[in-house]
């Protein structure tokens, strides 16, 4: 338990659970650094700070943890002191929200990260009007929206997903951050680190260190891609792809070592504002065949480039400009953990009230050994969607593809050469 027993500082912003469900969005394989630290409380690193989030029916509550050296006790940005044991669902703060540490506005960071300016209920209604299957499935899965992540963190996180499952991915990224990222603080005996910089991942001994951390063949892809991004784009170059048209941004990503079509589309959708990007792997392909009766790619038995292109085009025609968001809803609903219990963690009243005891202050501590055990969330079970490690792509956009999440029983993963994608993918 971290030191300090005073009342915790909480802030909030208006957000209906129909617009955002933390227990779905933070567990569905978009981001890998959030964990349910206690019932209904989600703790993770965002914008170089450690946050704890929870929600009630009408509000998203947040606390930003600070290192102890920055004050007589660890601070947390919010609106008012929350009395110990109070229920934020009934507490009505009156003071305006203060700025988050570092001069950034905490509420704006959250609005940007969860893209709260996008009206999700309206999109659900439009998708349901066009697609009866979506309407049926989405009725039990409101509030699934796409995160707007840092492009560097998103890219290198998804490089860890090839031929992998959620628990191991979470552990790999945690070890990556502990070994290469700046130490932030310790909360309830758990250390938190910022995501590594490009310069750290491109270091001369980065590949060797990554292999020692259990990254295997992915160590080369991480190291070489970091070097390539610095060489081709500069430290802030990936952010510039947000203003680049989707086909070009996707082509440039596919030129990086280890980046295949699915990883590129994940980054385009979840970090580069390409709402039309539809990440396709065998899991999505199964949904298309099972629920939409699609047989694409002239009977192909794996996700070839042709299948990827045709399936993405099908969903773009069906759902429109935010096709990637609609696909995220169906993918989330198809995950085993949510099929069994779609109404997880947070109940109608938002779960137990946060207290200073459950959300204690941060205390700097030496970083744990980077080669330690996987640190996984309690919900990190099952198989995450993945794709086989692709061959390095050339700038022409030609690349090879493999299989992904779960392959149909009896089918083998094949990597097939294919021509450059034509048109908008």
- pLDDT tens-digit series, residues 384-396: 444 555 543 333 3
pTM, two decimal places? 0.76
Its domain, for residue 50, covers 9-144
Kindly state whether residue 365 falls inside one of the protein's structural domains: no
Are 216 and 393 a contacting pair, CB within 8 Å? no
Q: How far apart are CA 345 and CA 18, in angstroms?
A: 15
Shared domain check, 239 and 173 = yes
Q: How far apart are CA 421 and CA 409, in angstroms?
A: 29
Shared domain check, 131 and 233 = no
Shared domain check, 167 and 75 = no
* Domain final residue pick, 82, 115, 144: 144
Q: Where are the alpha helices (DSSP H) in 30-119?
A: 106-113
Kindly state whether residue 193 falls inside one of the protein's structural domains: yes
Q: Is 398 a catalytic residue?
A: no
CATH of the domain at 401: 1.10.340.30
Q: What tokens appear for 57 in the block?
A: 């029916």
Going through 121-189 in order, the beta strands assigned E by DSSP cover: 183-187
- pLDDT surpassing 60 at residue 79: no
Q: DSSP letter at 404?
A: B
- pLDDT surpassing 80 at residue 339: no
Shared domain check, 122 and 31 = yes
The active-site residue, picked from 136, 220, 262, 274, is: 262
Shared domain check, 134 and 206 = no
Shared domain check, 209 and 135 = no
Q: How far apart are CA 123 and CA 158, in angstroms?
A: 26
**What is the number of residues in the chain?**
425
Burial state string for 135-156 with b = 16 or more CB within 10 A and e = fewer than 16: eebbeebbbbbbbbbbbbbbbb
* Domain final residue pick, 101, 121, 144: 144
* Domain final residue pick, 90, 109, 144: 144
User: Closest by alpha carbon to 143, among 115, 117, 121?
Assistant: 121
Kindly state whether residue 3 falls inside one of the protein's structural domains: no
- pLDDT tens-digit series, residues 120-132: 999 999 999 999 9
Beta strands 399-401 and 416-418 are antiparallel
CATH of the domain at 97: 3.30.310.40
As to burial, measured by CB atoms within 10 angstroms (0-12 exposed, 13-18 middle, 19+ buried), residue 230 is middle
- pLDDT tens-digit series, residues 20-67: 999 999 999 999 999 999 999 999 999 999 999 999 999 999 999 986
- Report the number of distinct structural domains present in the chain: 2
């Amino acid at each position: 338990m971290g030191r300090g027993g005073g009342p915790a500082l909480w802030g909030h912003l208006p957000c209906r659970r129909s617009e955002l469900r933390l227990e779905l969005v933070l567990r569905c394989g978009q981001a890998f650094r959030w964990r349910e630290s206690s019932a209904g409380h989600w703790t993770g690193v965002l914008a170089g700070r450690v946050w704890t989030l929870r929600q009630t029916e009408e509000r998203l509550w947040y606390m930003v943890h600070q290192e102890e050296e920055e004050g007589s006790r660890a601070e947390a940005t919010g609106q008012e002191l929350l009395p110990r044991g109070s229920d934020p669902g009934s507490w009505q703060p009156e003071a305006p929200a203060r700025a988050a540490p570092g001069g950034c506005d905490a509420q704006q960071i959250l609005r940007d990260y969860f893209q709260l300016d996008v009206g999700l209920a309206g999109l659900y209604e439009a998708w349901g009007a066009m697609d009866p299957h979506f309407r049926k499935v989405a009725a039990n899965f409101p509030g699934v929206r796409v995160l707007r992540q840092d492009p560097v963190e998103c890219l290198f996180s998804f490089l860890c997903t090839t031929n992998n499952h959620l628990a191991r991915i979470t552990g790999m990224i945690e070890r990556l951050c502990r070994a290469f990222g700046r130490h932030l603080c310790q909360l309830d005996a758990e250390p938190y680190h910022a995501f590594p910089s490009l310069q750290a991942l491109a270091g001369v001994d980065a590949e060797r260190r990554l292999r020692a951390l259990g990254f295997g063949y992915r160590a080369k892809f991480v190291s070489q891609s970091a070097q390539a991004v610095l060489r081709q784009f500069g430290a802030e170059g990936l952010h510039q792809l947000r203003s680049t048209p989707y086909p070009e941004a996707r082509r440039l990503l596919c030129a990086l070592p280890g980046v295949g079509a699915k990883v590129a589309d994940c980054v385009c959708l979840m970090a580069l504002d390409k709402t039309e990007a539809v990440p396709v792997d065998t899991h999505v392909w199964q949904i298309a065949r099972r629920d939409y009766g699609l047989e694409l790619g002239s009977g192909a038995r794996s996700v070839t480039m042709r299948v990827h292109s045709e399936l993405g085009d099908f969903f773009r025609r069906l759902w429109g400009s935010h096709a990637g968001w609609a696909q995220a809803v169906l993918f989330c609903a198809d995950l085993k953990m949510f099929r069994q219990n779609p109404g997880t963690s947070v109940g109608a009243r938002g779960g137990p009230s946060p207290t200073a005891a459950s959300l204690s202050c941060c205390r700097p501590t030496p970083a744990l050994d980077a080669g330690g055990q996987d640190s996984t969330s309690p919900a990190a079970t099952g198989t995450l969607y993945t794709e086989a490690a692709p061959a390095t792509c050339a700038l022409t956009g030609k690349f090879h593809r493999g299989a992904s999440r779960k392959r149909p029983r009896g089918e083998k993963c094949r990597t097939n050469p294919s021509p450059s994608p034509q048109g908008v993918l």
